[in-house]
Amino acid sequence: MITAGIDIGSITAKAAIVDGGKIIATKIIFTGYNAELAGQKVYDEVLIEAGLGKTAIDKIVSTGYGRNAVGFADKSFTEIMAHAAGAYFLNPLIHSIIDIGGQDSKAILLDDKGKVKNFVMNDKCAAGTGRFLEVMARALEVNLDDFGTMSQKSASPSKISSLCTVFAESEVISLIARGEKRQDIIAGIHESIAARVSSMLARIGVQKPAMITGGVARNSGVVLALSKKLDMEMEVSPYAQVNGAIGAAILAAAL
Amino acid sequence: MKKQISDLLKIIGIFLFGKFKKFTMRFKKSKTMKDIMLVYYSEAKSARLTRKKVAWITSGGPVEPLIAMDVIPVYPENHGAMIGASKMGTGLCETAENMGYSSDLCSYARADIACATVNGGPIGGLPKPDMLVCCNNICGTVLKWYEVQARYFNVPLFVLDTPFCHTGYSEETARYVRSQINEYISFIERACGRKFDYERVKKVGHLSLQGQQLWQKVLDTAAHKPAPLSAFDAFYHLALIVTLRGTPEVIDYYTALVAKMKDRIARGISAVPNEKYRLLWDNLPIWHRTRWLYDKFASHDACLVADTYTSAWCGTMKYIDENNFIDSMAEAYTRIYLNIGVDEMAKMVIAMIDKYDVDGFVLHSNRSCKPYSFGQMDIQRIVEKERGIPCLMIEADMVDERTFSESQISTRIDAFMEIIKERKKHSSSISMAKE
Ligand code: SF4
């Protein structure tokens, strides 16, 4: 059975095609202002990538904040379910998931069968999300993709005490003015995200092993800061950013 | 003046029938509710003409002595709920913020303080008070709020200080609160210029208790599966036990409502058409979103069958001694839900979970109401440990719409319902296997 999952996030739209136990193709594009259009586009592109026609797909599930805009999906699930299904598919031993997306972050607890036991979402505030990193990258005039490697050069991370993105931005600017090293500031930013996100997981009770998903998982600095903070290994899948879409495709197979 | 009153009647009519129309359609009794509230607010608004006194009082304040002395009690919090339900809260909150009040202040307080200066809101403001009665059993906010209004209207303020009861009710607390009841009575005597009517207060106390018992009966009907009324209906019908407890109108209305609910049970009519999942609600309603939330949960075949909020108006009946109302009222008003320790609250929540046999617990973390929201995380943990049901926390505000984020709350509710459905599916397949 070949199924597709479409995950419409606030910044990127993701799609995955799964055939039984195998990931055939994945695709990531920018969502833009029209979630419906993004859904169609990312689906068309993932089909091309997989070299398949629409008729080859048995079932489609949508997820993400724009899940209801995907008219051609057979069913929609929340990203909580999708991330749980995706992580369980990638590694059935996983018990905790931290997902850091563009606009929100969440912590999910799974039982032994990969079912969601509990979750918490931070969606009121940009701190602890991808948006926070983007704002900081702009303030520091550093390419966001370089954040991970740069922060690992830091010997003494700066202290970022503000919880609010807006205040943290001015704090960072004052740190630059004071002449602190960029790598230290960036490492400090990563620690502040880790503190914020790990407290969410602490709220529902963290259980090993844990996986980090979402676009921010590509930032090795955040991953490192999180493993330090939680005092455990954080598993990062190469499919971290498309984990929601993969999960949606897995859920589609069970429809 | 006549014209003013008829305009007012119209406005209140539009409010009650406009905003709550969809709910009230399902209850033919609503006409009576409308009539009662019309009469209540127009009597209060025309108190100057009828030479009656008006007292503003907090929702958990001892109102019976006022009623016994023919003072018309008016509830800024009930007014706040009306402002919220008519989606006028944000504008009034902004007005208060422009006056210099912090956006962290309770939105009932903000809306009321602003409303007094502009006579805004759905009924053109509350009638001017002759006195203010503030009982801090619900929170500390009301103290400052009522002081502000006492200065603004230049009227006397009585504060009834009810110490927090972590557990039990100490000897000292009992004496302390009881002694203030005497001061309260002298305050009313001074304001009314006549002696207190001790005979009358017994009758009022009797009616108050009877009203609370009937309100409890109304809420009890939701223990039936499927529930004939939901928490959203309770939010609507609550208005009377808040504003008119101690009067015969409450008795008639709730007696009829209980009968109506029993009839619905007999005929198999439920609040949510296909009730499959039953939920408990914590904290104040999100007044500007009641319809949306009802629809959202109903789309998952879920019914909020009970809540900790509306049951607070009949939660301390056990402390009331009908033959000694004035004395026992002190304890009943002191030991209300918001004035007890978190462990005690959790016990009450768990009792409700069992009584209404719910599948999940929804907690509204209310930006406005600190005493209600502060211990929620602990209560959630206790519930998860003791009963193992899924819990959901949603962040919002009862009146201030600016704190409500629809798509995000929608996602949380969907995910929460996915978990509940998954569990129920699982547990029903287990019980089927056992059979
Ligand atoms: S803080 Fe809570 S209890 Fe106090 S007035 Fe506001 S809503 Fe009521």
Q: What is the pLDDT of residue B1?
A: 47
Q: What is the pLDDT of residues A57-88, one digit of tens each?
A: 999 999 998 999 999 999 999 999 999 999 99
Could you tell me which residues are beta bridge partners of residue A119? A108
Could you tell me which residues are beta bridge partners of residue A15? A6, A27
Whether A65 has its CB under 8 Å from any CB of chain B: the answer is: yes
Q: What is the pLDDT of residue A168?
A: 79
Measured CA to CA, the distance from residue B57 to residue B50 in angstroms comes to 20
Q: Where are the domains of chain A?
A: 1-91+239-255, 93-236
* Those residues with Cβ within 8 angstroms of residue B421's Cβ, 6 or more apart along the chain or in another chain: B277, B300
Domain holding B101, by residue range, is: 2-434
Under DSSP, is residue A132 helix (H, G, I), strand (E, B) or coil? helix
At residue A206, φ and ψ (nearest 5 deg) are -70, 140
Q: What is the pLDDT of residues B304-357, one digit of tens each?
A: 999 999 999 999 999 999 899 999 999 999 999 999 999 999 999 999 999 999
Q: Which residues of chain A have pLDDT under 70?
A: 123-124, 163
Q: What is the DSSP string of B118-180?
A: HT-TTTTSPPPPSEEEEETTS-SHHHHHHHHHHHHHT--EEEE----BSSS--HHHHHHHHHH
Q: What is the pLDDT of residues B66-96, one digit of tens each?
A: 999 999 999 999 999 999 999 999 999 999 9
Whether A204 has its CB under 8 Å from any CB of chain B: the answer is: no
Q: What is the pLDDT of residues B265-302, one digit of tens each?
A: 999 999 999 999 999 999 999 999 999 999 999 999 99
Measured CA to CA, the distance from residue A234 to residue A98 in angstroms comes to 9
Q: What is the ipTM of this complex?
A: 0.80
Which is more confidently placed, A165 or B373? B373
Say what the pTM is: 0.87
Q: Is there a contact between A52 and A17 (Cβ–Cβ < 8 Å)? A: yes
Does domain A1-91+239-255 match CATH 3.30.420.40?
A: yes
B267: CA distance to ligand 1 center in Å? 39
Q: Shortest CA distance to B380 belongs to which of B283, B294, B302, B276?
A: B283
Q: Tell me which CATH homologous superfamily contains domain A93-236.
A: ATPase, nucleotide binding domain (3.30.420.40)
Tell me how crowded residue B376 is: count the other CB atoms within 10 A of its CB.
20
Round the average pLDDT of chain B to a whole number and report it.
Answer: 91
Residue of A nearest to B422 (CA): A115
Q: What is the DSSP string of B93-122?
A: HHHHHHTT--TTS-HHHHHHHHHHHHT-TT
- Interface contact B395-A80, CB threshold 8 A: no
Q: Shortest CA distance to B57 belongs to which of B36, B46, B45, B73?
A: B73
- Interface contact A65-B418, CB threshold 8 A: no
The residue whose CA has the least distance to atom 4 of ligand 1 is: B139
Q: What is the DSSP string of B359-403?
A: SEEEEEEESS-HHHHTTHHHHHHHHHHHH---EEEEEE-SS-GGG
Q: Shortest CA distance to B333 belongs to which of B351, B348, B315?
A: B315
Whether A111 has its CB under 8 Å from any CB of chain B: the answer is: no
Q: What is the pLDDT of residues B234-261, one digit of tens each?
A: 999 999 999 999 999 999 999 999 999 9
Q: What is the pLDDT of residue B32?
A: 73
**pLDDT for B15 beyond 80:** no
The whole-number average pLDDT for the span B29-56 is 87
Same fold, A1-91+239-255 and A93-236: yes
